[in-house]
Amino acid sequence: MGSAVPRIAIFVSGSGSNAQAIIDRAADKQEYSVVLLVANKAKAYALERARKAGISTHVLQRDDFYNTTGLLELMKQIDAVVLAGFLWLIPPYLLRAYPDRIINIHPALLPDYGGKGMYGDRVHTAVYEDECRYSGMTIHLVNEKYDEGRILFQAHTLVEDCADADCVAERVLRLEHSYYPAVIANWLQIMQPR
């Protein structure tokens, strides 16, 4: 991306533990800068994390997000978008503004346990009930469908000894925190300048 540090926006819906890991790596290594955190819920704890880190925040209204392109005004300086537990489908105008520049993390080994309605505990419960030997996480580019963009990275973890779905969730989340920030840094490094 030339010599400038890439500037990213993180989109979230919930707690934002991945957002925190991404913010922490930015502070530690300065490979990229987190300049905006966008949430689709005013109560998302991730907003609190961003404020503590001095990052600008924005709370989305559903109608504005899907029926206007106003968000792009706020994103003029943003090079790439990182989804970290963001539950809304990305609208076409945003995909067009950021072609191959929106990345997502999914808490399972796609294409298994993905698609509409497969998020959070639903994923881990399904994996647990199917008595899977492994679960894991997938980092992929975002397109117009849930969880179907090109896969960039996957990591596995053994879950066959888990006694419940919470155990699966915990192991997968640990993987997410340890890989997502590094994969983002690499992805930004090989990205062509806009």
Element (H or E) spanning 29, and its range? helix 17-29
> Is 140 tagged catalytic?
no
Residues 34-93 touching ligand GRF, rule: CB under 6 A, are: 84-85
Beta strands in the chain (DSSP E): 7-12, 33-39, 56-59, 80-83, 102-106, 134-141, 151-158
114 binds ligand GRF (CB under 6 A): no
20: nearest Cα among 84, 106, 107: 84
Q: Quick one: which of 6, 16, 149, 181 contacts ligand GRF (CB under 6 A)?
A: 16
Query: Least distance to ligand GRF from the beta carbon of 170, Å?
Result: 11
Report the residue number whose CB is nearest to ligand GRF.
Answer: 85
14 binds ligand GRF (CB under 6 A): yes
Contact 165, 124 (CB under 8 A): yes
Backbone angles phi, psi at 151, to 5 degrees: -80, 130
Query: Least distance to ligand GRF from the beta carbon of 10, Å?
Result: 10
Residues 122-151 touching ligand GRF, rule: CB under 6 A, are: none
Contact 148, 173 (CB under 8 A): no
Q: Quick one: which of 38, 47, 128, 176 contacts ligand GRF (CB under 6 A)?
A: 176
Interface residues with ligand GRF (CB under 6 A) are: 12, 14-19, 84-85, 105-107, 173, 176
